[in-house]
Structure 1
């Protein structure tokens, strides 16, 4: 593996094209951080940036045979990362547009069926955001939301302080609220915690 560190990018590409996993590992080691920082700068979200870089390197491995031997590896990775970021932003924008249009439709045509649809959408969006919380924060937040435990009950159950529980719930709300700010019912739910 250490011998791969001395190779130039074109030599690594040649080895990669032949399925050399050590060459791929060296490319990954050499470019992961710079690609991650590139994605993070555009997205301003660490998890999304990590996901994008994972996709970039997965794509590199899957398309390795199609890469030109004289390709600029850094340029290839930068463009691939940029394109994946643009795709992610477009998907998120479509999702937000969909949720906004659904909210506008529900507001204009308020009836029980629409209220149930909106409630399901809100709860699904909230559930999705809760699932993305760090494990301990998620556990505490779910105990508060779903099991209606008091801060003291959660603290006793998990053998942590009340202040830790309060801080974890506060952090969870701070993370979730901006992502679901366009759903007014969520803001009301989170305000009651």
Structure 2
């Protein structure tokens, strides 16, 4: 007796998630779902990155909104990309830079790109904080981040928080690849020196008689 093999029901097949190139092309063709997926996947990272290089949160929010409006309105004319995150970061930085320059001329807020000054906020790059440092020592480590310039802080953020490559960071920040290596290397060295100083202070405190 011959038994026919059951064929799987194709209606239950799960389609593979589209990669960046495919999703981008779907969006460019007018697929609203693809556009929504791009927005939802990157909105938080864009906001977090934007607020690291621009102190005005409202400006960051406006630039992000304008960016996505522009993308939708000009979707047919956009070029291809296989890294949507990189594309969006680079586009947002350009918009923030233009906005900062315009606001500076009108004296509405200081230019976040004009000078390399210490950052005003603590860093999220906890990979550079010693694992067993107590809370008060962690605060001192965060103070070490304030010694970095804005460009160093931005590069560190892109490299260690958003996991972008050196080449991508160079393109986003408008730097040569070698300059990007040097920028991040110097920033890490500065942080390492502060970490060592903090650890030495901890050891010294422990060695003191109670």
TM norm structure 2: 0.42
- RCO greater where, 1 or 2, for CA within 8 Å and sep 6 or more? 2
Q: Which has the higher helix share?
A: 1
TM norm structure 1: 0.45
